[in-house]
Structure 1
């Protein structure tokens, strides 16, 4: 089974060309950083007549509706293979269709999704969170410093809080200025990652809804910067996607 290793701001993936069926245990094996290829998740890219289909699994084998960094990687792969025109195309996911295009060398602009929030904040483990849905669920809290944020202790507790029946991603954000936010993310089914595209989008949407930031914001994550743009309830992102290496995994 041939694969390509790709990453977006350190959020890394094993990418397979579809159509292909992959068992959950194989996904877990591929993502294992000691005995496998090592990744935060597995992406399957399938060429369609007029678009590209993206499927995504977390490192624990669970299906995810959407992955922002994965979306950019699939877009970069499709452009590199000549499947699509780089000036604009559609990536189809479980959460809907996402327009994408090249905006620079290795840079992709893509529609993350339509965001919505619950009518009221959610309290979990004694902390208030903004619950945001943008293709997948997010719980965003704002802190004074992300360096000292309790990501590793609070993240896994909030992830499985029964207020989120399908689990949730957890964001710890600090607003540095009206156009700059610092962020760390505990990803559902993965743990803390270097970057999370939908997490950055959910965070800026929540901060913009509060009146804390402008419509276009740079989000600094451990893996690097993403640019997030909010237009009403629509959210867009711009960021890199890079191929790392290719290989073959024994068929199982």
Structure 2
């Protein structure tokens, strides 16, 4: 049971960040008597999409890259349920930083203690209406920096089918790539790269993979500059058309039927990868645990890095450990920490304002 106490009539929330990637946390025990704000889908509660958009907006609400809703229901020892929601109100699937932040909240709130191992069950509503469930093992390692290890829910799956890529817009760069899923040209992404860099051959080689959510990792050579945050913000409309989930009327025309997180990676050496990120449902992001895991996995599958990699992002560095071989990765674990920023209350009047 949570050790935080909430006065009657007040709606409590928390804000944490992991390397500048921030999430709000709503504990269902604090919001269980709010039927206008908390919906039930598939028998599992979740915040209304408008509530998420309002709270995550820096002008209308508090501001955040996304929202965590959990622990959802009483479960057995060592098991916690969670919904991870993008700032636009869509389900995020897996988030390495989100799970790590949730783990730190569980420790802060008294649900778990340093040294414990447990599973986080991530519930995501699929376009079909069915719920998918991914399980991420977590270890509250502790130490001076209160390190948290999170293992991604599934071993990486590579290739076009893994992230529902459109064969009219995404092309294998050679026969081996078609078989292994390692190197593809994403035509609309390459076109954006050409406009931004002035080069006709920009951004030609991307690795497509799923690790519980979809990723498209574009590799740049050592002399090519990574797009900075200002550049990604300036190209937001164009990148959004690739990264964000398309509506049902556009799925056949989109590069990825369910959208995809986008990354630009530059391998510094066999132990370091530099990374820039554009998140599905969010946009340019300071850091991302799942993006770091995807980039490290893609670089490992390409034979560019060793099994322990530091991924360097604008918000900071995450260490990724990979088990297996380059042609068969069996597990990926990210290590880092999370920081509580806010323990506060939200004014109900703010939640009455609708943001579409």
Return the TM-score normalized by structure 2. 0.67
> Could you say if the C-alpha distance between residues 148 and 192 of structure 1 is closer, same or farther in structure 2, counting changes exceeding 3 Å?
closer
Deviations 1:83-136 (A, max 9, x none): 124321111113521111123333211112321111433322233311110000
Query: Aligned runs of 1:30-49 on 2, under 5 Å?
Result: 30-46=55-71, 48-49=75-76
Cα contact 1:141–1:171 (8 A) shared by 2:
yes
Q: Judge which range, 80-89 or 25-34, deviates more.
A: 80-89
Question: CA–CA distance in 1 between the matches of 2:100 and 2:107?
Answer: 11
Deviations 1:35-78 (A, max 9, x none): 21100001012153322212111010111111110100111111
- Per the TM alignment, residue 163 of structure 1 is displaced from its structure 2 partner at its CA by 3.2
Structure 2 alignment gaps of length 5 or more: 1-10, 33-37, 39-46, 124-132, 160-179, 191-203, 245-252, 352-356
Q: Judge which range, 22-31 or 43-52, deviates more.
A: 43-52
Return the match for 1:156 from 240, 251, 276.
240
Return the match for 1:128 from 205, 210, 213.
205
> Could you say if the C-alpha distance between residues 148 and 57 of structure 1 is closer, same or farther in structure 2, counting changes exceeding 3 Å?
closer
Structure 2 SS opposite 1:155: helix
Return the match for 1:29 from 34, 54, 65.
54
Question: CA–CA distance in 2 between the matches of 1:141 and 1:134?
Answer: 16
Cα contact 2:56–2:62 (8 A) shared by 1:
yes
Question: CA–CA distance in 2 between the matches of 1:83 and 1:91?
Answer: 12
* Corresponding residue number in structure 2 for 1:183: 275
* Corresponding residue number in structure 2 for 1:91: 120
Query: Aligned runs of 1:1-252 on 2, under 5 Å?
Result: 1-18=11-28, 20=32, 21=38, 22-46=47-71, 48-50=75-77, 51-87=79-115, 88-94=117-123, 95-103=133-141, 104=143, 105-113=145-153, 114-118=155-159, 119-120=180-181, 121-124=183-186, 125=188, 126=190, 127-143=204-220, 144-147=224-227, 151-152=232-233, 153=235, 155-160=239-244, 162-232=254-324, 233=329, 234-251=331-348, 252=351
The runs of at least 4 consecutive aligned structure 1 residues that moved more than 4 Å come to 147-150
- Give the total of aligned pairs: 252
Cα contact 1:52–1:78 (8 A) shared by 2:
no
Structure 1 SS opposite 2:114: coil
Which has the larger share of helix? Answer: 2
Structure 1 alignment gaps of length 5 or more: none
